[in-house]
């Protein structure tokens, strides 16, 4: 995690958004605060945060799928070794 817990707490970031993309969110919130009446002024930072969130989601799903396949493989091996003994 690039942003520390203290930085996220000081910026009053909600707990559900304190993740690996917190540093992008801090920059986005700062930009939105500084450019308040202009919503399109922070488009690049919004894109960076959205991309980070998507990449994090994809990596978590890949890890979940890998763990699921390893668990199924382990079950198959246990059944195979249990049958042969």
The 3-state DSSP class for residue 44 equals: helix
CB burial string 13-35: b at 16+ within 10 A, e below:
beeeebbebbbbbbbbbebeeee
Query: What pLDDT, in 10s, does the model give residues 31-62?
Result: 999 999 987 889 999 999 999 999 999 999 99
Structure tokens at 21: 């993309």
Q: Is residue 12's pLDDT more than 90?
A: no
CA distance 1 to 68: 26
The pTM of the full predicted model, rounded to 2 decimals, is 0.77
Cβ neighbours of residue 2 closer than 8 Å, sequence gap 6 or more: 22, 23
């Amino acid at each position: 995690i690039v942003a520390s817990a203290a930085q996220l707490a000081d910026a009053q970031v909600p707990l559900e958004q304190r993740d690996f993309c917190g540093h992008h969110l801090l920059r986005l919130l700062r930009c939105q605060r500084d450019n308040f009446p202009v919503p399109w002024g922070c488009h690049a930072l919004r894109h960076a945060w959205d991309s980070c969130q998507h990449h994090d989601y994809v990596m978590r799903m890949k890890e979940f799928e890998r763990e699921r396949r390893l668990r199924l493989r382990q079950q198959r091996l246990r059944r195979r070794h249990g049958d042969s003994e």
